[in-house]
Every structure is written in C-alpha cells, then in structure tokens.
Amino acid sequence: MTILPSSFACAVLFAMASVCTAEPIRIESGLIEGQQGPLLTVYRGIPFAMPPVGELRWRPPQASMPWRGIRKAEDFAPICPQSGASVPGAPAEPSSEDCLYLNIWTPARRPDAKLPVMVWIYGGGFTTGSASMPLYWGDRLALRGVLVVTISYRVGAFGFMAHPELSRESPDHVSGNYGLLDQIAALRWVQRNIGAFGGDPHRVTIFGQSAGSCSVCLLMSSPSAKGLFQRAIAESGAAFPPLAAVPGSDVLHLKGAEEKGLALQRKLGAASLADMRRMPAAEILKAAQDMPWMFLLDGRVIGREPYDVFSAGHQVDVPLLLGTNGDEGRPFLEGAVVTASNFRSDLSHTILANIPASVLAHYPSNTDDEAYASRAALERDVRFGWDAWTWAKLQSTTGKAAVYYYHFAHLPPAPAGSPWARWGAGHWAELPYVFGHPDQAPGAWTAQDRALSETLIGYWTNFAKNGNPNGPGLADWPVFTCAKPQVLHFDSAIHVGGVANLDKLEALDRYFTEVRKPRLAVK
C-alpha cells in the first residue's frame, strides 16, 4: 500500500478547512495551544517525557520539564530511530532519539466534557513504528465523540536493549523494556493531564495492532499498568505461546537479553556502556538493525509469561475486544518461494522451526499451491490466530470483564498486481477501516468499503464509551465465552459464527500444552 501524499492534508478532517489557534490550556508542564477547526482541536508533539538522549539513553523515561510561556503544539515530533516502515508504503518521516511525544484529537470544547479516551499504540515488530503517520490520525474516530491519543515509544535497540551494566545501574537490577516503560509513562501522563483536553481519565481504552496489540497484552499482564486504562482493544498480536516453543527464546529472559546487549557492544567496538551512550544514534541503529529486539521477562515490568498471568487471574481485568485477519500470514511470505519439496525444510529457518509433525498434518503440502497456502496458514495461526483464541478463552475464564472477538476477512480493493492484492485480508488490512482512512491507499474503494469503515468505527468507539461495542444501527455482537464461543465475522457480509480455522488452532494448542507440561511439573 502506498499512502498518497495528496491525502495528507485532507485526512486531517474535513471539518478543519478553516483552522485557527485554539485558546491555550494548562497542563502540568505549562500552557499549550493547538489548532482548532469547526469540530475538532488537534495537538501535535506534546512531550510526555524528557528526551532519552545522552545519559538518558537506555534509562526509564523521566518526567518532562516545565516550560515558560505558551508551547505551540502544531507540528508532529520526529519518530524514534528505526530502519524501514511499520506499514508498507508509509511516508518517510524525520527521526530522532528526542521522540517521546504524543498527539491528541479532541472534539471537546470544555475541559469538563469527560469524553472517553482512546490511546493508540503502534505496531512494527518493536523495531519500527510511528505515532504520526496519516493512517493513524484520530480525526474520524474523534468525530464519534471520543478523544484520541497516539503515543510514541522507543523501538529496536534504543527501546529494548538489556545489558549487565544497565542492570547494575537499576535499583531493580534489571534492564531492557524501555519501550514498554515509555508506554506506561505516556498512560500515566494521560491520567494526570487528559482532563484539560476534555477527556475522562477513568474511561481510557488502549488499542493497538501487531506489536501494539502485543503491547496491549503485556500491559494487561503488568502490575505497573494497573489502573491506567479501563478497556483494551487488540488487533492481531499477543504473547501467549510458551517461550520454550519459540526458537532463540533465551533473549526473552534477562540473562540472554544481557548477552545480546554485550554482543551489540562488541559489534560497535565500544569499551563500555558509557562509550555506547556517547556514540551517534545512527551508529547504534546500523549495528543493531540485523539483531532481534523485543520485550523480555525482566521480573519488573513483565514478571511472568502472560499465559501464566491470565491463567492465574492476575491480569488487569478490563473489557477486551480482540481479533485477527483472515490472511494474516501472506505478507510474511512476500518474496518467498514455497514449494512442496522445500515446505518442511524451510520451516527450520523461521519461528516455525519447532512445529512437530502432529501439527503439520493439519497443513498439507502435496502440491506447490497447497504448500504455499499451508505455509501462509501456519504463519497466520502461529503468529496471530492461536494467540487471539487463547487470549479470549483465558480472559473469559479467569476474568470478570466481557470479551468481544472478531475475524476480519473482508478483501480491500487493492490494485491488481500489487502486493496488497496478493495479501488479501492480510496483516494491516483492517487499519484503514478502523481509522476511517481508506482513501489513503490506491484502489477502487466502494460504498461497501466506506460503510464497513463506518461500522468498525462505530463498534470501536462504542466500546471505548461503554465497554460494549453494540449500539443503534449495528449488527449485534455477542459476548465470547468458552461455553458459547461466538465471533463476529467481517466478510462480504457481517455475521456471527464460530472461531475460524478451529481444527488448526486446536492442534497448535495440544502442542503448546505438551511444551508447558515440564515447566508446570516443576512448579
């Protein structure tokens, strides 16, 4: 998908054709003024923490400093240092380590409006992402009576490097997960300040896609995030497979992550952590770009595997809306040659390396076409499908708050021959519909596409308002329970049905259960 530059301005909101400077409002750091249109006011580039540069590189976020006078919140801040884009075709944006900012779209005209708040956490595999790309602008959602916040967090080595020297610096003797700490700091800022923008700090919904959805899972698993949000929306991502089943999972534990930090130090030729802090960000980025970076079980932010947290009923127990797309796995095969002859051997080089024959029996590969379809289905189910199903089951079993489960299989009208046409209802496919920005992508977008976008916006914003997506003019979305596992399917028509690809998910579940048994026996 190529996001069209011409839509950059019109996507802000049709209601801001005439824009003026809003009256200054006071937040904890000082006075701030945004840009006001007839229906919405937008604030861009509000700092929620100190720039994580110099001695603050690889440290938890520190509270932003107050300013004198009036700060103009007219321009988006740079994105955090990264290589590539989190959504294919997204426009290039300037980057800087000075990136801990957030953006706000609000329809409120009074600070006592107490509107529900939706806080967006971007995806990008914890290595890329932007809080300011046009796709994520909150105008269309905000026009439904909610306040939208998009937050930035450190990614890649800047956000997730652990290191023995960093652990020794920490009073908790841990390191890494700075990106998650950024998310928590932003949510705390929202609690302290969002009332000035007309938001209700007691009705905060976190929502995210891919790594952002995984972040929602981790925040629901983290005691540090308790009380910071009251609802959660998760689109295509979580963290429930047993780590023992994940190749290279040693780096998801503190000791292994520290070893990876030392490996980065050696690549950089640095004598110490102090040397690494003095190096230009570009050097760090170049050396780290081929290394895997993501969250880890540090014993502080993430104390236990999310599966264990939810199984014990210790999660942040809030209403949950979650789901996946019908063709999630196809984008991950772009450029790959999958044939009947190489189907099994190629798995050894991927996150699917440990999948046993008992599971592969559900993914036949007798012909080249069959092998490709099965590989795409494996990528879909292992990366996303099983996670969502397991999350829904656990929350509906050990939690008291309701679960609403969706399956998005509607095919966006991508131009023939484009990667998006090959991907079908792939990863990212629901995003233009959720944010109401289908015109940012080329294609023959139809009245049906626009109606579906309005429907998703209605469900998402109703959920933010009430913890229930249902409302006037919308098809009934039933609660998911293990006794009655009902899913709302967004396809050529909207209908209620069962869990998609259930036989395959059940095969994966049996495998993951076996992997967990030795660990459970030790306990």
pLDDT tens digits, 86-98:
888 888 999 999 9
Q: Which of 163, 407, 427, 437 is catalytic?
A: 427
Strand order in the sheet with 35-36: 20-21, 35-36, 41-47, 101-106, 147-151, 115-121, 199-209, 231-235, 320-325, 403-408, 487-490, 494-497
Q: Where are the domains of the chain?
A: 7-44+79-85+94-323+330-522
Q: Is 95 a catalytic residue?
A: no
Question: Which pLDDT belongs to residue 15?
Answer: 46
Between CA 257 and CA 298 the distance in angstroms is: 9
Instruction: Please report which confidence band the pLDDT of residue 5 belongs to, taking 50, 70 and 90 as the band edges.
Output: very low
Mean pLDDT, all residues of the chain: 93
What confidence score (pLDDT) does residue 17 get? 58
CA distance 287 to 346: 27
CATH superfamily of the domain spanning 7-44+79-85+94-323+330-522: Alpha/Beta hydrolase fold, catalytic domain (3.40.50.1820)
Flag whether pLDDT at 301 surpasses 50: yes
427 is a catalytic site residue:
yes
Beta bridge pairs of residue 233: 207, 321
Given a cut of 80, is residue 2 above it in pLDDT? no
SS3 271: coil
For residues 202-218, average pLDDT: 98
Judge whether 207 and 229 are in contact, CB under 8 Å: no
Strand, coil or helix: 27 = strand
CB 34 within 8 A of CB 104: yes
Q: Is 163 a catalytic residue?
A: no
Contact indicator for 145, 461 with CB cutoff of 8 Å = yes
Residue 322 pairs in a beta bridge with 234, 405
45: left (phi over 0), alpha (psi -120 to 50) or beta: left
- On the question of pLDDT at 247 being above 90, the answer is no
Give the integer Cα–Cα distance in Å for 5 and 125.
Answer: 25
Out of 97, 258, 328, 379, the active site residue is 328
Residue 442 in this model has a pLDDT that exceeds 90: no
Residues forming a β-bridge with 35:
21, 42
Q: Which of 133, 130, 131, 127 is nearest to 82 (CA)?
A: 127
Non-local CB neighbours of 209 within 8 Å, separated by 6+ positions: 122, 123, 235, 236, 237, 428, 430, 431
Say yes or no to pLDDT of 10 above 60: no
Which of 64, 210, 365, 374 is catalytic? The answer is: 210
Where residue 13 falls among pLDDT bands split at 50, 70, 90?
very low
Q: Say whether pLDDT at 163 is over 90.
A: yes
For the segment 458-476, what is each residue's pLDDT rounded down to a tens digit?
999 999 999 999 999 999 9
Cα dist. 380→371, 408, 409 in Å?
14, 13, 13
Q: Is the pLDDT assigned to residue 16 strictly greater than 80?
A: no
* E strand or H helix at 201: strand 199-209
Q: DSSP H helical segments within 63-177, as ranges?
A: 139-142, 156-160, 164-169
